[in-house]
Structure 1
Amino acid sequence: MTALTQSPAWQNLAALAEKIKTQHMRDMFAADPQRANKYTQAACGIELDFSKNLITDEVMSALQSLTTDCQVAEKRDAMFAGEIINQTEQRAVLHTALRNFSGKPVMVDGEDVMPEVLACQRKIEDFVAKVHSAELTGYTGKPLKEIVAIGIGGSFLGPKIMSEALKPYWFKGVKVHYVANVDGCHIQDVLASVDHEETLVVMSSKSFGTQETLQNTLTAKAWFLKAGGKQEDIAKHFIAVSSNIKAATEFGMAEDNIFPMWDWVGGRYSLWSAIGLPVALTIGYDNYRALLQGAFEMDEHFQTAPAEQNLPMILATLGVWYINFFGAQSHVLLPYYHYLRGFPAYVQQLDMESNGKRVSGDKTVTDYETGPVIWGSEGTNGQHSFHQLIHQGTVLIPADFMLPLNVPNQDDTHHAMLASNCFGQTQALMQGKTFDECSADLASKGLSDDELESLATHKTMPGNKPSNTFLFDKLDPKTLGSLIALYEHKVFVQGAIWGVNSFDQWGVELGKELGNQVLDKLVNTDAELNFDTSTNQLIAKFRQANS
């Protein structure tokens, strides 16, 4: 056993879990009329109702004790202070510095990084203003109305999903298209829909060598030149977010139009850096700054709120409770708001890339589960498909429901129906429907005793399925920033409890490395195939099909 699973806090939680498994949330609500109020907390415009969880005051106290034993607060403070907490890569972790509005310095290796951060924000603000005012134009003098944002992973998911979520705030003078997939169909479809004279390509790659991103950018360059542009016109139509200034300028980009990246910002946390430039181009700089402000306010809440009121702490420890003591293997996110439909995919990368690890900081292979599978879909669509498994399946799947109380261009009938489904699903998951209740409903159907018993058995739902409900007045940029930061900090807390490094991604790196090796064999068709027999066979078939 590891030190974590041998700890008194862990053993206490294991005992409490066995006790809770004999109880039902129906009875918990019946016994405590104040339960909903007691287990609801709010911060930064977000209200979290976590009363529909398999918890008691004793359980919540024990979970807080676990965070104390695992020194979560100390690890949190070390992150915000710029200490090297990404030990495998010897880096600080400072995405929080990118939205730091406190006026306080943030030190890395003895230097305050805030002057650079603020300079980058001013550069973004200036660039967005020039594009939106048409001060910046293409080589023929036409305004840059079409933005093609090329990235992969966090450089793509963050800007794309957050732009979608904030559609009511879009600036009407530009349209942003996001490209990530190296499948040529994607980039070709996008380029076919835009005029090269009005197109600005934003390439996001720290190294300027990310395989998919570079290839898509080269394809865009070839398209631009074929359409009539010249090499000297590249500078007016292509910009980069990259640390490799030399490669970007050799490509043809103007050095003034290269935005910085820093080693202390991981890809899945890079939305707050110049990687967010396409978001600022989509919604305007003031709205983009509000996004940052919301995240900053959640940072402040995370650092200062006591554990029992701290939204990231509550959310994280509830997740640990189900993963490690109830055998939950996945967690579902259910936004009841169409524009937030991409949010589960964003959190999927954030969580699974961060905590999908099996080795703790002391090089010990864990004897406990770590990161869950994150998945989800917008409500109400999922109710007509996978909700069946959550209600009556054999695995426990905790759920996060999200609903804005007000939406743009609100149709009261539509919104009431949406809210009723959201609240009704959480109620159904919690209380279920007993065999006796099902039998009573069927009593007037004229069924035989055997038919009634059989059908009532199939219709019975055990309930006792946990869920959280997030409410916010509306999903404006500031609230969205807070929501994203909330999940970032939840992931951090869980990683701190499990003792894993939430900020490296060696599994991702291995996939890139082997992909490059295979690509070499696909391009150099005379090269000897020296992989396993399955991979060799697949490469040989591809070569034959493309010879």
Structure 2
Amino acid sequence: MHYADMHDRGCASPRALLEHPTVAHSVASQLPAQLPAVTSPALSDTWQALLDHRALLSGHSLASLFDADPGRCASLSLEWDEWLADWSKQRLTQDTMNLLLAHARERNLEAWIAALFAGEKVNLSELRPALHTALRRPGDAPLAVDGADIIPGIRATQARMRALAIQLRGGLRLGATGRPIRNVINLGIGGSDLGPAMVCEALAGPRASPRDGIDVAFVSNVDPEHLTRTLAGLDPATTLFIVTSKTFTTIETLRNAQAAREWLAANLGGGAALAQHFVAVSSNVDAARAFGIAGGDVLPMWDWVGGRFSLWSAAGVSIAVRCGWDTFADLLAGAASMDAHFRDAPLERNLPVLLGLIDYWNAQVLGYPQRIVVPYAHALGRFPAYLQQLALESNGKSVQRDGGVLGHASAPAVWGATGTDSQHAFFQWLHQGTQIVPVEFIVPVRAAHPLGDQQSVLVANALAQAQALMIGKPLSAVRTELAAKGLPSEGIDAQAAHRVCPGDRPSTTLLLPQLDARRL
């Protein structure tokens, strides 16, 4: 849900906006009948209540909130499917959560969730559904878009993805010279790259031997260095390219695809046989075939799947190739489980809703313009970049859902890096800087490949950082520490101020048993 949807200033329908750009109309009378009305919060009692509540909390530190409520950890956390989400270190109370939930209900959140899953055209700027959830739902119950059931097409495409993954991983796909394909390069950008690349890095793990699976690389940038470095050392006779572009007109992707074709032709000769080295994922079958890709090697995409959600579609075939179809199926099953929870759970026990409301509180009510995500998992190194597109490609706009100008800040910037590396990069700024930035820690408790006590050290670091951000280190404690080290008083005076940490920095911690496909 857009931040703009939770708090905008005056609403007009997209149709009214187009037809009468200077006249305000009621959204409730203009939206498609199936969708809930979007009401203006300009006179909202719940929004004013949040502002009043912010003022009440302004004089209280996080530590004092813990002192005042011994049950704070239990009331401000939620367990679901072996996950533990703990937001007790955020600058809020249970009263805050109750006010946020009331505001969400006033903004018709429950009805918008139902409309999303029903296939209503919740993408109002393009008048399309947003049905990435259909790509991962189990079973074959019908789901209609514009009167046509989309489930059979999804199942047929998934069957083709599975067959291609088995073929490539088993060495059954042959190149122009008759040798099996052993290297795959995905050519795509944005959602055609960020999601699949993130998942492959997170789940593929080390290969036991060159015969264990198949190598998959990702090239997104039109900078020739990206493709050149990726091709270095590869054998054209055993290399296949997946050209992933919904429209098959994306400039960066097509330039790289043309360069790849020239590289193959220079080494293998031209001709129709080069088609054996290409697969496409696109809704533009004619353009892919004109490029030289066989029609049977073009996997479809649909306009009701946004690019930032495309890893769940045929664009995820690179995941199935690198990690195996069973892993991709587990990824879909995990997402389907969360979809069902998001769709069915009451808002008070709904994990994505609660976490979204906390981010909304931080960004829109408290005015924090940034959000940092720190996975304490090296395998999630690409996760912050993936979240950037997921969160900011639409929510970063300066207009509301209806196209009107925002009367408040858009979504906060999202960035981050893995722990513990980030502790030696920007954590000093987090602890001691003048800007307060909420942090979200993602912490797998068990290691996929244990080495001694290293996972315990990793987890301990994450928990300690969250605690230190909240508690801080006052000047008196710093002076005592320096004195215990034997520093003279003039040395203490010179160093103490540089070591003070103000504390009172908010964070959320997400604990999961282990990083695997289902939990990702």
> 3-state SS of the aligned residue for 1:339?
helix
Residue 275 of structure 2 is aligned to residue 238 of structure 1: no
Given candidates 319, 344, 355, the residue that maps to 1:304 is 344
The 8 Å contact of residues 125 and 402 in structure 2, kept in 1 or not, is answered as no
Deviation track 1:278-304 (CA, whole Å, cap 9, x = no partner) reads: 010000101101001111110001011
Given candidates 471, 481, 485, the residue that maps to 1:431 is 471
Mapped partners of 1:415, 1:144: distance in 2: 37
Mapped partners of 1:239, 1:331: distance in 2: 38
Deviation track 1:390-444 (CA, whole Å, cap 9, x = no partner) reads: 1121222111101111112201321122111111100001111223323333444
Residue 408 of structure 2 is aligned to residue 368 of structure 1: yes
Mapped partners of 1:459, 1:206: distance in 2: 52
1:169 Cα offset (Å): 7.6
The 8 Å contact of residues 400 and 467 in structure 1, kept in 2 or not, is answered as yes
Residue 265 of structure 2 is aligned to residue 196 of structure 1: no
Change (3 A) 1:173 1:448: closer
Change (3 A) 1:209 1:364: closer
Mapped partners of 2:401, 2:221: distance in 1: 34
1:47 Cα offset (Å): 1.8
1:98 Cα offset (Å): 0.6
Given candidates 157, 168, 179, the residue that maps to 1:142 is 179
Q: How does 1:36-435 map to 2 (within 5 A)?
A: 36-168=73-205, 172-435=212-475
1:338 Cα offset (Å): 0.6
Mapped partners of 2:429, 2:106: distance in 1: 36
The 8 Å contact of residues 44 and 294 in structure 1, kept in 2 or not, is answered as no
The 8 Å contact of residues 140 and 197 in structure 1, kept in 2 or not, is answered as yes
- Any stretches of 5+ residues in structure 1 without a counterpart? 481-547
The 8 Å contact of residues 245 and 258 in structure 1, kept in 2 or not, is answered as yes
Mapped partners of 1:84, 1:391: distance in 2: 44
> 3-state SS of the aligned residue for 1:479?
coil
1:449 Cα offset (Å): 6.3
Mapped partners of 1:151, 1:199: distance in 2: 16
Mapped partners of 1:429, 1:296: distance in 2: 34
Bigger Cα displacement from structure 2, 435-444 vs 359-368: 435-444
Given candidates 470, 493, 496, the residue that maps to 2:510 is 470
Cross-structure match for 2:70 = 33
The 8 Å contact of residues 448 and 515 in structure 2, kept in 1 or not, is answered as no
Mapped partners of 2:346, 2:265: distance in 1: 58
Residue 51 of structure 2 is aligned to residue 14 of structure 1: yes
The 8 Å contact of residues 149 and 203 in structure 1, kept in 2 or not, is answered as yes
Change (3 A) 1:458 1:53: same
1:249 Cα offset (Å): 1.4
Change (3 A) 1:363 1:242: closer
TM-score normalised by L of structure 2: 0.89
1:208 Cα offset (Å): 1.2
The 8 Å contact of residues 472 and 504 in structure 2, kept in 1 or not, is answered as yes
Cross-structure match for 1:541 = none
Mapped partners of 2:394, 2:340: distance in 1: 22
Change (3 A) 1:456 1:218: same
Residue 501 of structure 2 is aligned to residue 461 of structure 1: yes
Mapped partners of 2:190, 2:324: distance in 1: 23
The 8 Å contact of residues 398 and 410 in structure 2, kept in 1 or not, is answered as yes
Mapped partners of 2:133, 2:463: distance in 1: 33
Bigger Cα displacement from structure 2, 273-282 vs 358-367: 358-367
Mapped partners of 1:204, 1:444: distance in 2: 61
The 8 Å contact of residues 442 and 511 in structure 2, kept in 1 or not, is answered as yes
Opposite residue 310 of structure 1, the aligned amino acid is N
Deviation track 1:500-539 (CA, whole Å, cap 9, x = no partner) reads: xxxxxxxxxxxxxxxxxxxxxxxxxxxxxxxxxxxxxxxx
The 8 Å contact of residues 330 and 517 in structure 2, kept in 1 or not, is answered as yes
> 3-state SS of the aligned residue for 1:374?
strand
The 8 Å contact of residues 93 and 264 in structure 1, kept in 2 or not, is answered as yes
- Any stretches of 5+ residues in structure 2 without a counterpart? 1-8, 11-39
Mapped partners of 1:453, 1:34: distance in 2: 40
> 3-state SS of the aligned residue for 2:360?
helix
Name the % identity. 38
Deviation track 1:18-60 (CA, whole Å, cap 9, x = no partner) reads: 2212111212223333222222212244221111111111101
The 8 Å contact of residues 43 and 301 in structure 1, kept in 2 or not, is answered as no
Bigger Cα displacement from structure 2, 5-14 vs 470-479: 5-14
> 3-state SS of the aligned residue for 1:405?
strand
Mapped partners of 1:443, 1:221: distance in 2: 68
The 8 Å contact of residues 44 and 479 in structure 1, kept in 2 or not, is answered as no
The 8 Å contact of residues 203 and 240 in structure 1, kept in 2 or not, is answered as yes
1:385 Cα offset (Å): 2.0
Deviation track 1:210-261 (CA, whole Å, cap 9, x = no partner) reads: 1000010010001111102432112211110011111211222111110000
Mapped partners of 2:176, 2:488: distance in 1: 81
> 3-state SS of the aligned residue for 2:138?
coil
Bigger Cα displacement from structure 2, 412-421 vs 397-406: 412-421
Mapped partners of 2:139, 2:110: distance in 1: 20
Opposite residue 373 of structure 2, the aligned amino acid is L
Aligned positions, number: 480
Change (3 A) 1:257 1:30: same
Mapped partners of 2:103, 2:407: distance in 1: 17
Mapped partners of 1:169, 1:294: distance in 2: 22
